[in-house]
Amino acid sequence: MPVKDDRIIINVVGMHCSVCALNIENALKRSPGVKEARVNFAAEQAFIRFDPEKTSADILRQIIEKAGYKTISGSGAQSLEQENKARRKELENLKSRFIIAFIFSLALMYVSMAEGMAPPAAAAFIRGNQALLQFLLATPVIICGYSFFTRGLAVLIKRGAANMDTLVSLGVGSAYLYSLILSLGMWTKAMPGGGHMFYYETAAFLITFIIFGKYLEAKAKSRASEAIKKLIRLRPDTALVYRDGMEKDIPADEVIIGDIVVIKPGQRIPVDGIVIEGYSGVDESMVTGESIPVEKTPGREVIAGTIARSGSFKFEAIKIGENTMLARIIELVRQAQGSKAPIQGLADKVTAYFVPAVFIIAVIALSFWLIAGKEFIFSLSIFISVLIIACPCALGLATPTAIMVGTGIGAEKGILIKNAASLQLAYQVDTVIFDKTGTLTKGQPRVTDVLGYGRAEEEILQLAGSVEKNSEHPLAEAVLESCRQRNIDLIPAGDFISIAGKGVLARLGADHVLLGNWHLMEKKNIDIPLKMRNDAERLQAEGKTVMFVVKNNKPVGVIAVGDTLKEHAVPAISALKRSGKKVIMLTGDNRRTAQAIAGNLGADEVFAEVLPEDKAGKIKDLQSKGRKVAMVGDGINDAPALAQADVGIALGTGTDIAIESADIVLVKDDLRDVVMALDLSRYAMRKIKQNLFWAFFYNLIGIPIAAGILYPFNGFLLNPMIAGMAMAFSSVSVVSNSLLMKNYRRPV
């Protein structure tokens, strides 16, 4: 029997560039039992799929910690609190280190420029003790940046790998050690020296700029993950339940299925359930994106994390813990934010070789200028600039930060994008197929016409209702509801047979009754009279679904059923067409009825008379012609089509099977969210491309300039401190560009 894979998300603390993420990934992938490992530098999380018989969550955490990083255990709110505590501690630490480094660096600048700034007596003292003063002021700054050296050199020595910290430690370390050697030479009288020969100031300001950049980056990354933090905070810590004849306040985790939960105005709902008593207007905006409170009366469902704005009520808990809608949404968002888009593959490949390549370029540049006859101090400056200006972080942050913000925006608006690949594929969609019943229409058809042809309407409805009593089709419910409204007694049916996509037949006493569409009539060789045929065609032209009632092989009546379009169906389709998408309606209805409805909607094309098992085939045909197809559906029979489509979009009001099969889930029953999902994908991909362009452009231009490529032409040589500033702000600019996505506005 195959072993079911386990999945775990581990929060990781201590990653400082995308190379760190790759190092952790490689360490995990080498571990027995690990089938898949993805480490997201921006989200600071490891997503692992593993064989529980060969490894465990504890072992996986140990692997990450042996690689030199810390992990945060726990789940849900507990994990969030620990994560937030670690992030706050990191920010406070970076802030303190920056302030100290900045103060000492300013003092160091004053000392190095004392000739033009200090009073004569002070200048003379500084000039005579230049080496000692610069050493004493630079060393505390180097100590503030000790982690760059410990991490950078440790990973190089222990694992033969390298990361951004390695580049920083080599660049800054070279400047500091060179200056220290000069100082020792002066103190021991082994060599003469002067303040202009020292690189203490460069080393100090490099560390200061880099610490400041890391502080800004950490703040920006924290903002990128705000959406999921908001979702986790929605669930209250306690719940008021009715037990043993009295109300008890208990931890929300202790609520069990069947508990009666009491909700008062202003309180958050702790678990999913069904209202059994009372009334309230519930704010579901943080879960569904819908700003207008939803009325909750007995029989209505309530969702964990939503807020009762007015009125008190009691409800029965039906879903708790990880099974609540809120928990499922959080899990979907976390998975999406940790996944990798195909477009990220190039950046990952470049990042894997980035640090060794930069080091080689730095050594080549140093050697070239020495051979060209330049003094060592000139060549060393270039060596340091190349090491410092290179920034793999910008490459590593370009895609995941945009994905985190994009999927977070979607979640806040009630659009759950399951993974980064779906976000990218949605951008490429050029054809959108909508299932009709329950997707474009309300899925609550009603009988609009009953034609008897010499028989009473009640008799026709009685025959149809008696046959449909055992059917679960939406049209059957419409017929049965019409029978109930007219108080028509039904006849017990036997030998019931349902013919998918065509109709039903059964035995009513001694009579055999058939109820179905044109195809069923043709299949059973039923001859439809001209008058009945003309009436049926007229009703179909009005967009109604027609069913023929046949008793003992003789057509006796026609029943027409109509299903109203959803409120936002027409504007959604109009918006899709304006954006250049081809819109197709898919239905099992006969062609005449389907074309009438499609005409009302404004769809470009209609696939009519399609059996449930043939829906996926229609999509496959379009894909074979090079179309990128999105399928929008809600029912069980839509699941194969949702899976076949390049992007499956399921309505959250639909079945669990449809939701599991889809790539994007719309929590609200609002078709305008289809437009927004595709538009959000386009917007996110635009940001990703901007980020990648900037990251590649920055490194492709910055590294050659730092190597001195412009010097022979115009004498320009990049100061290592400017290189440090550029590196510090490159990754910040990428994250900031992603954060600008928060200004996104829905298109319709």
Residue 637 token pair:
């029979």
Say how far apart CA 447 and CA 662 lie, in whole Å.
Answer: 32
CB 241 within 8 A of CB 256: no
> What's the Cα-to-Cα distance from 488 to each of 459, 479, 682, rounded to whole Å?
9, 11, 54
Residue 90 token pair:
């990191």
Dihedral pair phi/psi, residue 662, rounded to 5°: -90, 160
Q: How far is CA 584 from the centre of its chain?
A: 27
Name, in order, each residue with C-beta under 8 angstroms of 312's C-beta and a sequence gap of 6 or more.
262, 263, 264, 265, 278, 280
DSSP 504-561: EEEEETTEEEEEE-HHHHHHTT----HHHHHHHHHHHHTT-EEEEEEETTEEEEEEEE
Question: ∠ CA(736), CA(38), CA(65), 5° rounding?
Answer: 95
Amino acid (one-letter) located at 401 = T
Say how far apart CA 595 and CA 435 lie, in whole Å.
Answer: 14
Residue spans of alpha helices (H) in 145-247: 146-159, 164-187, 200-224, 226-234
Identified catalytic residue from 435, 563, 669, 673: 435
Catalytic residue list contains 435: yes
> What's the Cα-to-Cα distance from 468 to each of 299, 450, 473, 707, rounded to whole Å?
26, 15, 8, 81
Say how far apart CA 21 and CA 10 lie, in whole Å.
Answer: 13
CB 643 within 8 A of CB 418: no
Using left for φ > 0, alpha for ψ between -120 and 50, and beta otherwise, residue 619 falls in alpha
Catalytic residue numbers, as ranges = 435
